[in-house]
A and B are shown apart, each in its own frame.
Chain A
């Protein structure tokens, strides 16, 4: 359908204006937060646009789909006459039942020339686009020219349909993670086939310049090194790593010392590889020792990283001898009261696939623990803390504990230090 020189161009202009509001409607449905929107570069030239009293309140497009897809407004010319839409009433328009597809509209050559458009009395407040999605995605406004004329939206009334953008979910924008699309840019496309080691003007002798991205670093950190008052024992949780940014050898030590004896310990020796922005995959072995019991060895496969909302998470699955399986999970969250006074909350669980009576471990959920530790960071690397740790045994594990006259639930005040270097 081609429209060349409308006798009266009023409907077309009204339609254009309504599209603006249609957009707004679509956005409202998808719950966007426009609070930071920057229109600072929209340019409407010298004049004010006044749509202040637009009334499309009862627009109705009835039962028929309207396809404007082939509309070409390119030769519209409003040069000579002022358009006054001030009395337009679209109040009975209804788009309820049919989808409108404006996707191919080309407004690129519209020219509003010398005259002011006054949409000041238009009322779109009762337009209803509820049922159908409108796809404007292909609209090209890039060459619209409003330079000389002006649109004043200052009186637009959105009252009846409050637009709530506060729930906008930017998750859709995929600012993080995700898979590279097939047409993603090749980062080596500009190399002309040369490498850092060879090609013209290379200084020879292989690649000479190495930066810290190829350096190996290390860290040793004691997340917990504490006295547990209830059991009068020393508990420790140490981690260390050595390697580059993306490939590291990691070691995790957990254990308890009482009466000067290492009661039990768990050592994970892992290859830790960065797989996602905030997550490492870990593969290796775990070694358990008990003063009274039998040592156990396991294969370990886990993930460690940072979940949204800053939860530090560490989950590992284990496969042991004679079909033993186990899972251990831990999560931590930190709350800064001040820059140095920090409350760390933690929860953890262990579960096993088989009874291990000699070590006091039962099938199923074996234990849950939760702790709160308040530390003061004299430096980011050294912080003494006090706190409380609660631990409960369940199922067969609890039965074994009872049989040994051990408590199934312990709550202990703890005091210790946290440090790294």
Chain B
């Protein structure tokens, strides 16, 4: 995939690397068969001749019941360096597919790469053979082969699709998938834009991963320094400066371990445009504009806001929610949010800074082509808090586990009756007793949380008390008809685990290769408890079925396909699989998934 790397003569500055090129993106696209006989020079020439056809900015749109897609290698230039990308129909992002609920669609995908490929329809309920995970739901699409996906669309909303093979997604294979409701859309807007955020690396993703394996903090340039220490010393005194560091030092953990990768190796894209290229969407003042935000990044959480413009969140993961108006939201790879905005000024910046605060993706909403709004500075890095390591500290320490739980005062009262009502109510509420797996006590795990937090109203590190109204999971409530009533008949507890020093990621301390599948019974409702025993958030994506998030007090709250679990957090959701088969379930941070934070689900 990377045998075509060469540098343009011009040297690139660091600034250009982060900001990207004003013009750039896909400069040429060619099937592997064409390339096979070509020399490097031919490739360059081919690239040059296509240079004006840069397929970035908003992706082309395809609609109808029959869609044809071609996977190929393309030359791209985001930062001043020509690189080989894997693309779908020669664009980054891939074409936006606009389909219709209730339709049976046929999507023919031809692979012209020299390696197997695949496309997964993220968040779509379909037969497992159509889910597109090579080695699990099918054998993959072999080089030169065309695979025909055929499935009926039983849902509507904003989704996306991407390769599920190796690091192909990271090198360009992702696009939006919009399913129009069969009946009239209850979300009414005067115009709409897809905003697909992603990240790009000029390096071979495999090389990036390998480097993390050697030195886990290689891309972290916000590590605690002596200078920071003396600043704390002068501002807060010696004992405070020391105690702030004591536990991190003792535990061999980094308080700035907010993300594995950073702008040191990534460039952030907004609909395939670098921050310098500045993607632009036009509007007329007073119009209601719908923005369909999709996080299609490989490894990046984005914090999205539009300074001076409030956003009303109306959909999450394709499912309508009670409108909630916010200034900002955080989302991880795999998640989507639809928002409505009513811009009144001439121009706005859609600003998406990354969780580790090293860069941003950015676009402009404006009334005309030549107007821009200021671009805010990236917020300073905030150290992880104790809550991100230990969870709920209110009763940690000397108390015997589970002995005193004040968190249930009041809130738990309605459940008390049902607890005496018989076996049917055995799973009335998610169990709060932390049960670490026996395999969490080995070298694959660097910490375990004994007192996890269960609240959903924390916006997360870097967003707490920032003066803006930030969306949290507790703000999201599905519309009344979205989730069918269900009662769990079984409970599954899984812990998200890792060892940063070894750059190993796992579930229950077992990487995928060591694991066994999770078995679920067809049409049986199961409660899943996910506890995050790491200091990073993980967007957990369960294929083939919905994840209906429960509130802390046990009420069904919002339907998702990807559930972000914060550090030291313990959350629960219900799922009822209605389709048999083998399904993937993994952290959608691509490196975490590939490192082993992945489970197979068998539904039978």
CB neighbours of B551 from chain A (8 A): none
Interface bracket on A:
35 or more
Q: Does A130 touch B at the CB level, under 8 Å?
A: no
The contact of A187 among B385, B448, B455, B508, by CB within 8 Å, is B508
CB neighbours of A337 from chain B (8 A): 225-227
CB neighbours of A188 from chain B (8 A): 515-516
Shortest CB–CB separation between residue B162 and chain A, in angstroms? 17
- Contact (Cβ within 8 A) B250 A38: no
Inter-chain contact count A-B, CB under 8 Å? Answer: 266
Shortest CB–CB separation between residue B414 and chain A, in angstroms? 12
A176-B251, A185-B435 known; A212 vs B447 contact (CB < 8 Å): no
CB neighbours of A190 from chain B (8 A): 492, 518-519
CB neighbours of A260 from chain B (8 A): none
CB neighbours of B128 from chain A (8 A): 201
- Contact (Cβ within 8 A) B223 A339: yes
Shortest CB–CB separation between residue B526 and chain A, in angstroms? 9
Return the CB mask of A166-199 against B: 1 if under 8 Å, else 0: 1010111111111110001111101110111001
The contact of A210 among B135, B447, B581, by CB within 8 Å, is B135
- Contact (Cβ within 8 A) A175 B390: yes
- In the complex, the chain B residue whose C-beta lies closest to that of A200 is B604
CB neighbours of A306 from chain B (8 A): 252, 501
Question: What's the Cα separation between A344 and B593 when bound, in Å?
Answer: 34
- In the complex, the chain A residue whose C-beta lies closest to that of B591 is A212
Q: Does A7 touch B at the CB level, under 8 Å?
A: no
The binding surface of chain A is classed by DSSP as: loop
CB neighbours of B213 from chain A (8 A): 217, 219, 245
Given contacts A212-B594, A213-B504, A277-B445, 19 further A-B contacts (CB under 8 A): A30-B397, A38-B387, A43-B411, A141-B404, A180-B438, A195-B516, A199-B517, A207-B135, A208-B135, A213-B511, A213-B595, A213-B596, A214-B513, A277-B442, A336-B226, A339-B225, A380-B215, A381-B211, A381-B218
- Contact (Cβ within 8 A) A245 B397: no
CB neighbours of A145 from chain B (8 A): 409-410, 413
Interface bracket on B:
35 or more
Which residues of chain B have a CB within 8 Å of any CB of chain A?
A: 128, 133-139, 209-211, 213-215, 217-219, 221-227, 239, 243, 247, 249-252, 385-387, 389-390, 392-394, 396-400, 403-413, 416, 435-451, 453, 455, 492-493, 499, 501-504, 506, 508-519, 552, 580-582, 593-596, 598, 600, 602, 604
A170-B247, A185-B436, A310-B249 known; A420 vs B214 contact (CB < 8 Å): yes
A136-B403, A191-B516, A278-B252 known; A208 vs B139 contact (CB < 8 Å): yes
Shortest CB–CB separation between residue A247 and chain B, in angstroms? 11
CB neighbours of B389 from chain A (8 A): 175
CB neighbours of A44 from chain B (8 A): 409
Question: What's the Cα separation between A136 and B239 when bound, in Å?
Answer: 32
CB neighbours of B519 from chain A (8 A): 190-192, 194
- Contact (Cβ within 8 A) A246 B444: yes
The contact of A139 among B404, B408, B441, B493, by CB within 8 Å, is B404
CB neighbours of A40 from chain B (8 A): 455
Question: What's the Cα separation between A140 and B402 when bound, in Å?
Answer: 9
- In the complex, the chain A residue whose C-beta lies closest to that of B504 is A245
- In the complex, the chain B residue whose C-beta lies closest to that of A217 is B213
